[in-house]
Structure 1
Amino acid sequence: MKIRKGTEADIPAIVELLKSSLGEGLIQKSERLWHWKHVENPHGASPILVAEDDGKVVGVRAFLRWQWVYKGQVLQAIRAVDTATHPDYQGKGIFKKLTLQGLADAKEDGIHLVYNTPNESSKPGYLKMGWFEMNRMALKLKINPFAYKRQASPEAPNQDWDKLASLLPQLSNPIAKAGKVQTLNSPAYMIWRYKDNPLFDYYFLSDYKSYVLFYRFKIHNFGQEMRVVDFLIDEKTFDKKAKNLLKTSFKQISNACFLTSASGRHFELASGIYPNMGFLPVMDKGPIVTLRNVSLSDEVFTMLSNQESWGYALGDMELF
């Protein structure tokens, strides 16, 4: 068995391995999804490692590239995501070999850190390999009991993506000057992340002049969730009139859902411009976040290990 870098020619075999090892689940596996996620990503193509035995791909480890900005520095990061081992080869340490080789390659490639959101069963393995458990993601939640068990998604306003694309270069993250870790945004990233996403349908609220708020719906047994994933503004033109327009359109969508969610960190840092998100306090109720230092100084990594240093939106951390 050998560990090597994956190539585009391996994609069909990788997709079949993911299906046989993990099943379809909530996220269907396909070559189209793999290309969008790991090849077309504006942050860069994903480093891929495969384990090969007698010419057959029996293990895969993908690291999604992501660029964060912190105090003026662009942090080159990778997110440990798609991983699979063929059922006949499980228990042979393939996951660990692929992960450790991935870390070695990351250091060579100038990557600063690795982050991911493991579940309780996979977290111990990461901690043994040097990952640090930061905390659970902070969430801001709003509950509307009158929409309990309501399954129908509210109708989205007209979605003119071409018109929005011309606005995006004027918009920025409202916490851009907060000195917190945030995604390196660009119009290309926003279009890739939300318009071209083959997994979920994303919608937006915008006046096509001063703001855009991206969201999607998720169905639960208790009803609909409106998930606010990103929020950008033009500071010069996002005035009282624009805020009231956003407030009205947001209320119409949110009131049709049992649950509305947003990033607790982003909400706290930009609470003055968010539309009404109710009275519940920000709670650390999201997924566990873990970090692994690759090439940062101990001082910088220590600061990043504190959730207060982060200003992520849900779209930055959402698993896809």
Structure 2
Amino acid sequence: MEREIVRLDMDRDFEAFEELSVISFGEGTNSKKEMYQWLFDKNPYNKSGNMMYLLKEGDKVIGCDGLLPNELYVNGKVLLTAHSVKSMTHPDYKKQGIFRTMTQNSCERGLKDGVDVVIGLANDQSYPAYQRFGWPTLFEKEVYVKPILINNILKRRIKVGFLASMGNAVYSSYMKNKLKNQMDKEITFEILDRVPEKVQECWDKYKSKYSVMLVRDYKYLNYRYNERPDVNYVTVLAKHKGEIIGFAILHNSVANGSKMTSAVEFFTDPTSERYIKSLADGLAKYCYENDLEYVVIGTGLYGKYKKALLDNGFMITRKPPKNNMMIANILSDRVTLEEITGHENWHITQGDGETELDL
């Protein structure tokens, strides 16, 4: 039967696309049509339509790969980049070169639409294939976690509920008091249920202090967090003398029976340990006020983020994140591999890549 590569049409192809997603990633994969319509069709960085492509054999979808375009800030330049996402091959069609074919198709279509560089956070299954394709590895992502409440941790260790509750009460009382005493009295926090347009001022103020990161201006943040239809995010603004000096965007959820929050965005002056520490303190305060047990932050090694977070009680997670190898394929001469290689050059967050989107 003849095969063809087509652009994903939500009305025509979504049911077959969803079926392959469940086969590839399990029942826990996000299968909400309105989420994919927002993510693919309504992306404001699209040039000629969505950049998701299906390999069809008749009406059956046997492969998929595509790009999520956005902007990348590299040493003062703003480039069009795209995340490689939804790489899937039907298990009945393995070892036929479909992964390579679909990856090449995505890059060719991206180049036609002006994409300068394709990036992706590969997992242990896809990473070897990208290495065979010759895609360079830029760095291995780290994730940091800070325990806020330890009731569940103690329950798992000592197996006695009331002792765990007592231990947690003592610990949290001590840590709350410690946090209260260490917080910068000149920095205040505002909690919002939407990302406000005024975050643009913060981006404009500090962007030139970074080397490599996705553009975190209001256009991107509004699309990515305000317009997403299936998740409600929380925005934390840090202010000094009424001026925004940093922001975090939080996704509250439950993982392994524990209430937690993931800082999908965490942005401030990368050269200021004071501001980084204060923003982290603001997240801890928010967690105590909302009975959240721990907070997770992903960041690059650029600036003073790592030092400030580790000094603030964060720890590198014992297990690496599921998608942790940052890879790239440069498509234009507007950027060099040297400019974007190395964890020390990057600021990266939990909002980057497929994991936060539950793809």
Smaller-chain TM-score bracket: 0.7 to 0.9
Q: How many residues align?
A: 309
Query: As a proportion of its length, which structure holds more helix?
Result: 2
Residue 314 (structure 1) aligns with: 350
Any unmatched runs of 5+ in structure 1?
152-156
Residue number in structure 2 paired with 1:95: 99
Alpha carbons of structure 1 residues 272 and 93: separation in structure 2 relative to 1, 3 Å: closer
Shift of 1:118: 2.0
1:37 is matched with 39
Partner in structure 2 of residue 115 of structure 1: 119
Please name the residue that 1:15 is paired with.
17
SS of the aligned residue for 1:34 comes to helix
* Aligned counterpart in structure 2 of residue 213 of structure 1, from 248, 254, 257: 248
| Distance of aligned partners of 1:247 and 1:42 in 2 relative to their CA distance in 1, 3 Å threshold | same
In the alignment, structure 1 residue 254 sits paired with structure 2 residue 281: no
Identity of aligned residues (%): 17
- The secondary structure found in structure 2 opposite 1:115 is strand
Contact 2:85 2:120 in 1 (8 A): yes
Deviations 1:36-86 (A, max 9, x none): 111112332541222222354432222111211101222222212113334
Q: Is the 8 A contact 1:174 1:233 kept in 2?
A: no
Partner deviation per Cα, 1:232-262 (whole Å, 9 max, x = no partner): 5699xxxx9x999967753333344443222
Distance 2:345 2:319 in 1: 15
Question: In angstroms, what is the RMSD of aligned CA positions?
Answer: 3.8
Tell me the CA shift for residue 297 of structure 1: 4.8
Distance in 2, Cα, partners of 1:279 & 1:54: 52
Which residue of structure 2 lines up, in the alignment, with residue 225 of structure 1?
Answer: 260
**Structure 1 counterpart of 2:216:** 185
C-alpha distance in 2 between matches for 1:223 and 1:128: 39
- For the structure 1 residues 139 and 20, does the alpha-carbon distance in structure 2 shift closer, same or farther, using more than 3 Å as the test? closer
What amino acid sits opposite 1:5 in the alignment? V
CA drift at 1:274 = 7.7
Match of 1:26 in 2: 28
Question: Following the alignment from structure 1 to structure 2, what is the Cα–Cα distance between the partners of residues 27 and 150?
Answer: 31
The structure having more radius of gyration, on CA atoms, is 2
Aligned to 2:300: 265
Paired amino acid for 2:260: E
Report the alpha carbon displacement of residue 222 of structure 1 after superposing the two structures with TM. Answer: 6.6
Q: Mark the CA change 1:174 to 1:10 in structure 2 (over 3 Å): closer, same or farther.
A: farther
Contact 1:263/1:313 (8 A) holds in 2? yes
Q: Secondary structure at the match of 1:177?
A: helix
Name the structure 1 match of 2:169: none
Residue identity opposite 1:130 in structure 2: G
Alpha-carbon distance change, 35 to 16 in structure 1, aligned in 2, over 3 angstroms: same
* 2:219 aligned with 1:202: no
- TM (normalized to structure 2)? 0.71
Q: Secondary structure at the match of 2:236?
A: strand
Match of 1:154 in 2: none
Do the aligned partners of 1:225 and 1:257 also contact (CA within 8 Å) in 2?
Answer: yes
Distance 2:32 2:283 in 1: 34
**Alpha-carbon deviations, 1:174-232, whole Å to 9, x = none?**
75122411112332321221223234332122378525321122423373332212235
* Counterpart secondary structure, 2:348: coil
Matches of 1:269 and 1:300, distance apart in 2 = 25
Residues 11/278 of structure 1: CA separation in 2 closer, same or farther (3 Å cut): same
| Distance (Å, rounded) in 2 between the aligned partners of 1:299 and 1:23 | 33
